[in-house]
Amino acid sequence: MKSPRKILSLAAVFLILILIQLAPVERTNPPIEKEISVPGNVMGILRKACYDCHSNRTNWPWYSSIAPASWLLVSDVQEGREELNFTTWNRYSAKKLATLPKKIWEEVQEGEMPPLPYRIMHPEARLSAEEKELLRDWASNTLTSTAP
């Protein structure tokens, strides 16, 4: 037989888990202003591996409604959109636009993007060697075409 203290502790944890579901989170997709213009093969890669966190086209998974996972997801998406947003491309200066492809490639090359937890939950976001090569070529060609 379980002790009353253990039963009360489990009941308290269960109650807390239920109550935290009442804390609202803002899972929104703001309007798209101006989307990045890239070749179709590059866009396909960006959409499958980057857009959930770096655009206003987030596909919110079912677990994004369940606290505390919802808090983490909303925070990650907000941070991602602040760092780089493919659907507010018009907000970036010409100077920043010239450097973004290289920065994107460096993050991918170093294995920082997409982040490991995202790749675990979304295996389709894992980039093949061929996809990485396409991103590298896109970044390199973009830098060449914007050079003075």
Give the pLDDT confidence of 24-44 residue by residue, as tens digits: 788 889 999 999 999 999 999
Tell me the average pLDDT of the chain.
90
d(CA 76, CA 80): 6
25 close to 70: Cβ distance less than 8 angstroms: yes
Kindly report whether the global pTM for this prediction surpasses the value 0.75.
yes
- Residues 6 or more apart whose CB falls under 8 angstroms from that of 119 comprise 125, 126
Domain holding 51, by residue range, is 4-146
- The number of domains in the chain is 1
- In the chain, % of residues over pLDDT 70: 95
Task: Tell me how crowded residue 112 is: count the other CB atoms within 10 A of its CB.
Answer: 10
127 close to 49: Cβ distance less than 8 angstroms: yes
